[in-house]
Amino acid sequence: MSMLLTIDDLKQRARQRVPKMFFDYADSGALTESTYRANEEDFSKIKLRQRVLVDMTNRSLASTMIGEPVSMPVALAPTGSTGMQHADGEMLAAQAAEEFGVPFTLSTMSICSIEDVASVTKKPFWFQLYVMTDKDFVLNLIDRAKAAKCSALVLTLDLQILAQRHKDVRNGLTAPPKMTIPNIIDMAIRPGWCLGMFGTKRRTFRNIVGHAKDVKDLSSLSAWTNEQFDPKLSWKDVEWIKERWGGKLILKGILDKEDAVMAAKSGADAIIVSNHGGRQLDGAPSSISVLEEIADGVGDKIEIHMDGGIRSGQDVLRALCLGAKGVYIGRPFLYGLGAGGKAGVTTALEIIRKELDTTLALCGKRDIREAGKDMLYRPDRPLPAEKRKAATAKAGK
């Protein structure tokens, strides 16, 4: 793993080791994938200010997210089918995150269950909730997360209906994979992945199978999920979910300023500016392109997080400068998981930490909590004179 120096290096290694249907599941977007691409591309348009002759010693990336201490303001995002990138994937990723000192968020549509992850971690993790029409199942999920001592609930708002992802349809995506001739050939050339899967009992959606009514096998699970995502999800649902949960609540999927205002009034602790990784509304703006507007609008009322398109520590810093208090990485840690299991997830986090630390220093700062717009090169939007003077004086200390 020592020669894998970038997130893209991990991506290419994962492409070699993970069966095509599962690699494509992680590495794809909805319809034309225009929003998926924009999520990455729009970061490169944001330029940083290089500062020199400032004290770069004793730097710190330590911060908080919803009041919890983090070694850097980065969390692992909730990603479905993580355990199909590598055997026991959610459990391994949660352990890597815990050891690194950053939050791990478990998806409702995970392969390893809430209880599986709780059995291998010592500190609380976060749980992401999809709201189904089967409200008894939803209530049970919330109660299971409470029993596992999860410290935050992440409620996803942007998956009331599922957008089509062409790669998944063409690949005939299922978990576990169907034993067709193309799938058998594809898996046969990836013996390491196969050995891992043969050695685990976790190959389907264990938060659902055995917990939801009448879901006992792959065929019934497929039928159930196709009809269960609740298209009537509303702000009223946020109220009863918050009451039932009783803990810290994060709303995921805010991409519009008006929705951000509503979210700030909901009593939630934080919002995630997100377009579901470009996997839902194709043609929507990138997360980073709307972050500043939303942060400026409601950042004094609710904590702002973001996800979508982050592929480096520099991307993390750009998001923090534009108003995010923390960011989530999905594909980067999935690439690491596919490339090398738990060690690969740790490598992904180390890559981002090193890039973030170096970039912070070269921008003239020592504390990540000082990240702000004064660190961005924006000749078309100069800082007000008083802010420019204060920033210059602070940098000179």
182 DSSP assignment: H
Is residue 214 over pLDDT 90?
no
For residues 90 and 83, the answer to whether their CB atoms sit within 8 Å is: yes
Whole-number average pLDDT of the chain: 93
The DSSP bridge pattern shows strands 326-329 and 74-76 to be parallel
**Angle between helical axes of 257-265 and 287-298 (0-180°, round to 10):** 50
pLDDT in tens, 30-69: 999 999 999 999 999 999 999 999 999 999 999 999 999 9
Whole-angstrom distance, CA of residue 50 vs CA of residue 68: 31
Q: Is 252 annotated as a binding residue?
A: yes
pLDDT tens digits, residue range 127-175? 999 999 999 999 999 999 999 999 999 999 999 888 889 988 888 888 7
What pLDDT score does 177 carry? Answer: 85
CB atoms near residue 12 (< 10 Å): 12
The verdict on whether residue 335 carries a ligand-binding annotation is no
| Rounded-to-integer distance, Cα 239 and Cα 48, Å | 40
Given this model, what pLDDT does residue 170 score?
A: 86
Tell me if 54 sits within 8 A of 83, measured CB to CB. no
Answer yes or no: is 253 a known binding residue.
no
Domains of the chain plus CATH, in order, are 7-375 (3.20.20.70)
Rounded to whole angstroms, how far apart are CA atoms 388 and 261? 30
Please indicate if the annotation marks 25 as binding a ligand.
yes
d(CA 232, CA 235): 10
Q: Quote the percentage of the chain above a pLDDT of 90.
A: 82
128 in a labelled binding site: yes
307 is in an annotated binding site: yes
Count the residues in the chain.
Answer: 397
Average pLDDT over residues 232-247: 95
pLDDT at 91 (0 to 100):
98
Q: What is the pLDDT of residue 395?
A: 55
Please indicate if the annotation marks 313 as binding a ligand: no
DSSP structure string for 275-289: -GGGTSSTTPPPHHH
Any binding-site annotation on 330?
yes
Q: Please identify which residue in the block is written with the tokens 């029409």.
A: 133
| 246 and 260 Cβ atoms separated by less than 8 Å | no
Whole-structure pTM value = 0.93
| Radius of gyration of the CA atoms of the chain, in A | 21
11 is in an annotated binding site: no
Active site residues: 276
Q: Which class for 233: exposed (0-12), middle (13-18), buried (19 or more C-beta within 10 A)?
A: buried
The tens digit of pLDDT for each residue in 335-368 reads 999 999 999 999 999 999 999 999 999 999 999 9
pLDDT at 198 > cutoff 80: yes
Q: Which residue has the tokens 């709201």?
A: 131
With left for phi above 0 and alpha for psi between -120 and 50, is residue 267 left, alpha or beta? left
Q: Is the peptide bond before 182 cis (omega within 30 degrees of 0)?
A: no
